[in-house]
Amino acid sequence: MAKEIQFSLVYRDMWQSSGKYVPRKDQLEKIAPVIVDMGCFARVETNGGGFEQINLLFGENPNKAVRTWTKPFNEAGIQTHMLERGLNGIRMNPVPVDVRKLMFKVKKKQGTDIARSFCGLNDPRNITDSAKYAKEGGMIAQSTLSLTHSAVHTVDYYVDLAQQLIDGGADEICLKDMAGIGRPVSLGKIVEGIKSSNPNILIQYHGQTGPGFTPASILEVARAGCEIIDVGMEPLSWGTGHADLLMVIALLKDAGFSVPDVDMKAYMHARALTQEFMDDFLGYYIPQRNRMLNSLLIGPGLPGGMMGSLMADLENNLKSINKWLIKNNKPSITQDDLLVQLFDEVEHIWPMLGYPPLVTPYSQYVKNVALMNVMSMIKGKERFSMIDDNTWDMLLGKAGKLPGELAPEIIELAEKQGREFYTGHPQDLYPDNLDEFRKEMDENGWDYGEDDEELMELAMHPSQYRNYKSGKAKADFEKDLAGKKGAKKAASAPAPQPTDGFVPKTLNVDVNGEKFIVAVTYGDTAHTHVRQEVRSSPRESTASNDAEEIVAPLEGNYHRTKSASETAVKIGDSIKVGDVIGYIESMKVYNAITSDKSGKIVEICFNDGDAVDEDDVLIRIQ
C-alpha cells in the first residue's frame, strides 16, 4: 500500500516570505472557505511569528483576525498551526514566562491547534520550555529543528537535537528549512535518524525555495518517513517562498506516494483571490526579485522570510551609501553590487559570530552586522564598528547557547566594551511582567479582551499595540501606502523630454495633502525612489554658532531611549566620548548611538520617533 503524504498550506508565510505585509481580516475571511473547498489540506498555518505584529502595523486587531481566520478550518476538521519563536514568543526579543504561558492559552482559545516552536539558536532549553507551556495551554507541541548547512550543523547534530526535544516533551518534530539550503540527502538522513529511534513521531517538513534545493529535499524526506509537507500556491509560490502545491503533488505521485486530489475549480478561485489581494495593496510591498529563484542564496543561507523584507528595505541602504559615495567623489554602486557584497560579508562573519542558524531573529542580526560592516568598509572604516544591542545579547549568551565558537576578535571587542558573557538559563533573565501591563490596561480603560487576548497582545507587542490603539499605526500605514501609489503613478506617467540639456532629477508629488519627493532617471534602466519629505523642527535648542555636531551613522527612526527604564539625554547634560546619546531603530533593531565628542548638550535636533537620514545632525554640543 502506498505511503500517504499530507499537506499543510502555509498561507501566512507565503506573504511574509514574499514581502512585508499579510492580508487583512476581511481578505482572510474571504479566502478561507475557498481553501477548505480545495479539499487537499490536512493542516493550514494560520498565525504566529510576525503575522500579528504586521496586523498591528497596518492598524488591525490581530486577535479578531486570528479568530476569523481559524474558524472555517476548525469547522472543517483541518488542523491549524502557528509559528512561535521559543524565548521570543511571537516577537523579535525575549518574552517573560507569564506572557509566554498566556500566549499559548489565548491561541488555543482562538482556534489554533498546534504550536510550532523553534529557537533561532536551536537551544533545546528554549524549545522544551515552549513544549511544556503549549501543552499546559491545551495545544499540540511541535518542536522544531532550524536547519542550515555548516561545519557544525551536521546530521548527527540534528538527530541528537531532535532526541533532546522528544525527551523534553515534543509531540511532533518539524524540520524548518527556512533558507532552503539544507542539502537533500542530508535531510533524508536526519529524518531516518529520528525515525530509527522514534518510529511513531510525526515529522513535518517546511522548506523555502530560494536557492532551488527544495523539490529534491521534499522527495528525500518523504522517502525517509516524513508525513506532512508544507506547500505554497500560485501566485506566491517559488522565489523566496515555498514549493508549489501542484508541483509537489505531481512529484510525489510519480514517486509512488498516495497524495490527496485538488479541486481545481477551488484552486483557481483561491489563486485569483490571492492575486486580487496583491492588486489591492499587498503587491506594493513585494519586490519582483523575490519572485525568482536565486542560487546565490546558497552561500549566505539567508531565509526567505527575511529576504522578503530585506529586498524591500535595501533601496534605503543603497541610497544612503550612494549619497556618501557621491559626496566623497566616488562612483555609486547598484543594488546588485550591494547585494553581492552583503552576501559575501554574511558568509565571512557567520562563523565569527558562532554559526547561529540563520532564522528569525538571528538571521536579521547577522545580516544587520554584515550590512553595517559593508557600509563601514565602503567608507574606509573597520568591521564591527557598530553592533546593535540585540546582536550583543545573542553573542553574550543571553538568548541561548551559540552552536559554534566566537572569533577571538569578537570576544576581545566584548571585553573592551565591558560586556559580560552569560551561561545560565536564558529565561531567568526575563522576569514576569504581566502585572505591569494589567496596570497600563486599567489606567487607559482598555478592555482585556476575550480570554485576556488584548492583555496578551499589549504585553507581547507593547509599542505596536499602543500605536494601534492610538490610531497612529493605521495613519502611518495609509500614508506609506499613499506614497507608494503616488510613486508608481509618477513612475508610469510619460516623462517630460529633456530640453536645452536640462534633465530633471526630482519631482515634487502631492498625495492627499502629503508631500513626497520622487527621484527620476531616464532610459531603459529608469527607476523611481520615493521618500516623504518630513522634518520635525528641533524640540530643544540653546546652541550658538560654534557648537559641534554629532551626526547619525545610519538612517532610521531616532529614539532618545529604547525602554522606560532609561533616562533620555536633555539640554544641559554633560556627555563624554562613548556615552549613549540615543538610538536609531533600523533594520528591526535598535542601534545605540554613542558620542564621539565631549561637551554639554545645547541642541537636540529631532523629536523622539522622527525619521533621520545618515549624516543628519542629532545633537549639538559645546
> Could you report the per-residue pLDDT of 213-247, keeping only the tens digit for each?
999 999 999 999 999 999 999 999 999 899 999 99
Decide: 166 and 128 in contact? Cβ < 8 Å: no
Residue that is written with C-alpha cell 566616488 in the block: 330
Q: Measured between alpha carbons, how far is 422 from 399 in angstroms, rounded to an integer?
A: 9
- Residue 544 shares a structural domain with residue 522: no
Query: Is 497 contained in some domain?
Result: yes
- The radius of gyration computed from the CA coordinates of the chain, to the nearest angstrom, equals 25
- Residue 598 shares a structural domain with residue 577: yes
Cell numbers placing 12: 501566512
Last residue of a domain, one of 428, 444, 462: 428
CA distances from 580 to 30, 136, 208, 291, 596 (A): 49, 42, 40, 41, 10
* Residue ranges in the chain modelled with pLDDT below 70: 302-313, 495-545, 563-565, 587-588
Residue partners of 24: CB distance under 8 A and separation at least 6 = 58, 60, 65
Query: Is 368 contained in some domain?
Result: yes
- Residue 526 shares a structural domain with residue 544: no
- Residue 370 shares a structural domain with residue 404: yes
386 in helix, strand or coil? coil
Name the strands in the sheet holding 506-511, side by side, starting at the edge strand that comes first in the sequence: 506-511, 514-520, 528-532
Question: What is the pLDDT, as a whole number, of residue 192?
Answer: 98
156 in helix, strand or coil? helix
Last residue of a domain, one of 428, 455, 490: 428
pTM for the full predicted model: 0.81
Question: What is the pLDDT, as a whole number, of residue 313?
Answer: 62
Residue that is written with C-alpha cell 511532533 in the block: 172
- Residue 303 shares a structural domain with residue 424: yes
Query: Is 406 contained in some domain?
Result: yes
- Residue 396 shares a structural domain with residue 501: no
16-41, pLDDT tens digit by residue? 888 888 999 999 999 999 999 999 99
Q: Looking at residue 555, which CATH number applies to its domain?
A: 2.40.50.100
Q: Measured between alpha carbons, how far is 17 from 15 in angstroms, rounded to an integer?
A: 5
Question: What is the pLDDT, as a whole number, of residue 577?
Answer: 85
Q: How many CB atoms lie under 10 A from the CB of residue 250?
A: 12
Question: What is the pLDDT, as a whole number, of residue 343?
Answer: 85
Query: Is 545 contained in some domain?
Result: yes
Last residue of a domain, one of 516, 532, 548: 532
Query: Is 316 contained in some domain?
Result: yes
Query: Is 137 contained in some domain?
Result: no
- Residue 514 shares a structural domain with residue 561: no
Query: Is 385 contained in some domain?
Result: yes
179-218, pLDDT tens digit by residue? 898 999 999 999 999 999 999 999 999 999 988 999 999 9
**Residue 373 burial (C-beta neighbours within 10 Å; 0-12, 13-18, 19+):** buried
C-alpha 113, offset from chain centre: 23
Query: Is 560 contained in some domain?
Result: yes
Among 214, 289, 223, 205, residue whose Cα is nearest residue 8: 205
Cell numbers placing 530: 520615493
Q: Which domain holds residue 345?
A: 299-428
- Residue 403 shares a structural domain with residue 498: no
Position 518: which residue type?
V
Tally of domains in the chain: 3
Decide: 295 and 352 in contact? Cβ < 8 Å: no
- Residue 591 shares a structural domain with residue 508: no
- Residue 504 shares a structural domain with residue 548: no
